[in-house]
Amino acid sequence: MSSVKKRHVVPYLFIIPAFIIHVSIVTAPAFSTLVMSLFDWNGMGNAKFIGIKNFKEIFQDSIVKLSIMHNIQWLLIFITVPLILGFTVAIIVSQLGRTQMFFRTVYFIPYIISAAVAGKIWTAYMNPYYGLNQVFDKLGWEGLAKVLWLGNPKIALYSVAFVDNWHWWGFILVLFLGALQQVDSTLYEAARVDGASRFQELLHVSIPGIKQTIAFVLIMTIMWSFLTFDYVYIMTNGGPANSTEIMSTYIYKNAFVKYRAGYANALCVIQSGVCVLLYFLQKYISKKGGMEDE
């Protein structure tokens, strides 16, 4: 083999192990999910080919529609509250001196706590018999003391979202803080020389300087909002009365509780399709808004 051919072959030898792992762990299971969505299968026995009947059932399933609506509500919460909160606090913390690392650590700690642990702790806090309600009762806040945070179908989803936001926003803060520190300080100096106010600096220097990070956070949040599972499953398991049911928990129940693995695979295909559509929609909006380079 000539030296020229070797130079062309060697790079591929380095990527073959990663390629094999990716095919084995990602590509093959994804393809099998698409295939098994066309079968009636309980996850253990023989599978029976039924074509697109699973997909027809999905479009007639009221819980699927409810789950998608809950995912959309979840998405709207998480592309507003944690982003605004994380960015606002990042601006404040970026102005600090020696104490900056302390606040960065404190705000980031919830993110590294296991969802199983944090979910159980907050479930106990929201218990009406020995949780925060008892604290509210002793403080004389009778209205709050009577609230069923996880038992009221009207607010259960928002209660779980609050806990997940408590866990998530510190990570967003650290991302924004890192991005803000990369913005050229001479731009701020030039803005001050021109008489710009703090708000104008924020609008014309800070935000444009971290637009790539904002786009990344939006993409990640959109994908994650439709794939979220842990806090909902741990704290409410989709209840009460399906008021917190989301696509991931409904897929889990069909696969491992109802033993309808074929139907669960079809739901996974729909979920993936929604995520892909949202991803390209966000990319399109970001490019139109100048948040990403063409």
Q: What is the pLDDT of residues 95-114, one digit of tens each?
A: 887 888 888 889 999 999 99
Q: Return d(Cα 131, Cα 50) in angstroms, integer.
A: 49
Retrieve residue 146's tokens. Answer: 């009577």
Q: How confident is the model at residue 199 (pLDDT cuts 50, 70, 90)?
A: confident
Q: What is the mean pLDDT of residues 259-268?
A: 94
Average pLDDT across the chain, whole number: 88
Domains of the chain, first to last: 1-36 (no CATH), 52-288 (1.10.3720.10)
Retrieve residue 79's tokens. Answer: 């592309």
pLDDT for the residue 116: 92
pLDDT for the residue 4: 55
pLDDT for the residue 2: 55
Confidence check: pLDDT of 286 > 90: no
Q: Return d(Cα 237, Cα 248) in angstroms, integer.
A: 11
Q: What is the mean pLDDT of residues 78-92?
A: 92
Report the percentage of the chain scoring pLDDT > 90.
53
Q: Are 144 and 136 in contact (CB under 8 A)?
A: yes
Q: What is the mean pLDDT of residues 210-228?
A: 86
Q: Return d(Cα 14, Cα 236) in angstroms, integer.
A: 46
How many CB atoms are located within 10 Å of the residue 214 CB?
20
Q: What is the mean pLDDT of residues 243-265?
A: 94
Q: What angle do CA 70, 88, 178 make, to 5 degrees?
A: 100
Q: What is the mean pLDDT of residues 71-97?
A: 90
Among residues 215, 232, 212, the alpha carbon closest in space to that of 223 is found at 215
| Residue 109 Cα distances to 80, 105, 166, 180, 194, angstroms | 21, 6, 10, 21, 40
Retrieve residue 143's tokens. Answer: 């209205």
pLDDT for the residue 107: 92
Q: What is the pLDDT of residues 142-189, one digit of tens each?
A: 889 999 999 999 999 999 999 999 999 999 999 999 898 888 888 888
Report the percentage of the chain scoring pLDDT > 70.
95
Q: Return d(Cα 180, Cα 196) in angstroms, integer.
A: 18
**Cβ-based neighbours of 58, under 8 Å, separated by 6 or more:** 64, 263, 266, 267, 270
